[in-house]
């Protein structure tokens, strides 16, 4: 940001009331200007393309393109724009997927207004901004709990299902993409959790990435 120039931000959320509230407290801060709003993923991309903002504040679940997909687009096409995720989700694969997609920060919608303003400022400065609760969970997952036994490698299909789940796909969407039933998807995930000694999708994904069975972009690595 140039000396004296406000931080130029874009808000993308499919709920108008949420956008209005966020806009109000961001602009009340005095050094942040909301230059555009978007109510779905494609509109967010167009707004970013048209305005070249310093920071885009994204929800994860939006029509057309998810916040994860928009984040990937930003990293590929507007690298100077910082990405701050503002989401209600704090314990699922969204956290890992969006951070790996290139988001600079992740803050919960339950955070205080002052904390969200501080996160926008931090992202504009090129810093990471993680909600304390998100940071604790990420660190706990990365460090990993003590394993009770050697980890069994999931099958190729189980890892494929896990990778899609980490990208935010529902069981139904995974089933449609792979040509299998919702019940089969659920079965693959249950077996994967058991093999990886994980209690959630987030834990399973992070363990598979740390071991090297999934790549950083959540694609499956070939078996040696």
User: Is 37 in contact with 19 (CB distance < 8 Å)?
Assistant: yes
Q: Do the domain assignments include residue 1?
A: no
- pLDDT of 96 reads 73
> Worst-scoring range by mean pLDDT, 10-14, 160-164, 180-184?
160-164
Q: Do the domain assignments include residue 29?
A: yes
Say how far apart CA 70 and CA 103 lie, in whole Å: 10
Average pLDDT over residues 170-175: 83
Q: Do the domain assignments include residue 54?
A: yes
Helical H runs in 39-170?
Answer: 41-51, 67-77, 93-101, 113-124, 132-143, 156-166
- Cβ contacts of residue 162 below 8 Å, gap of 6+? 154, 188, 189, 192, 201, 204, 205, 208, 214
pLDDT tens digits, 94-108: 777 777 777 888 899
Whether residue 80 is found in the same domain as residue 181: no
125, 141, 157 - which closes a domain: 141
- pLDDT of 224 reads 39
Q: What is the mean pLDDT of the chain?
A: 83
Average pLDDT over residues 6-24: 95
- pLDDT of 207 reads 76
Whether residue 149 is found in the same domain as residue 74: no
User: Is 84 in contact with 55 (CB distance < 8 Å)?
Assistant: yes
Give me the domain span that covers residue 120: 7-141
User: Is 203 in contact with 197 (CB distance < 8 Å)?
Assistant: no
Long-range interactions of 31-34: CB distance < 8 A, separation 24+: 31/6, 31/7, 31/121, 32/6, 32/7, 32/117, 32/120, 32/121, 33/6, 33/7, 33/8, 33/9, 34/9, 34/10
141, 163, 180 - which closes a domain: 141
> Worst-scoring range by mean pLDDT, 41-50, 57-66, 209-218?
209-218
- Cβ contacts of residue 169 below 8 Å, gap of 6+? 177
CATH of the domain at 82: 3.40.50.2300
Whether residue 131 is found in the same domain as residue 49: yes
Whether residue 150 is found in the same domain as residue 137: no
Q: Do the domain assignments include residue 2?
A: no
141, 167, 202 - which closes a domain: 141
Instruction: Specify the number of domains making up the chain.
Output: 2
pTM for the full predicted model: 0.63
Say how far apart CA 84 and CA 140 lie, in whole Å: 22
């Amino acid at each position: 940001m140039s000396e004296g120039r406000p931080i130029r931000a874009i808000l993308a959320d499919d709920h108008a009331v949420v956008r209005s509230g966020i806009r109000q407290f961001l602009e009340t801060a005095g050094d942040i200007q909301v230059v555009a709003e978007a109510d779905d993923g494609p509109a967010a991309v167009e707004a970013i393309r048209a305005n070249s903002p310093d920071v885009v504040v994204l929800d994860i679940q939006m029509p057309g393109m998810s916040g994860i997909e928009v984040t990937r687009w930003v990293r590929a096409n507007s690298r100077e724009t910082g990405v701050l995720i503002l989401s209600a989700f704090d314990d699922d694969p969204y956290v890992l997927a969006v951070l790996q997609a290139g988001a600079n920060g992740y803050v919960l919608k339950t955070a205080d207004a002052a904390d969200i303003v501080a996160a926008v400022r931090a992202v504009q400065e090129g810093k990471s901004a993680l909600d304390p609760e998100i940071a604790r969970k990420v660190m706990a997952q990365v460090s990993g709990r003590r394993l009770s036994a050697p980890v069994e490698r999931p099958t190729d299909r189980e890892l494929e299902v896990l990778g899609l789940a980490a990208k935010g796909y529902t069981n139904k969407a995974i089933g449609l993409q792979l040509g299998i039933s919702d019940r089969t998807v659920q079965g693959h995930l249950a077996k994967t959790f058991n093999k990886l000694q994980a209690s959630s999708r987030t834990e399973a994904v992070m363990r598979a990435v740390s071991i090297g069975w999934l790549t950083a972009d959540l694609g499956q690595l070939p078996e040696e």
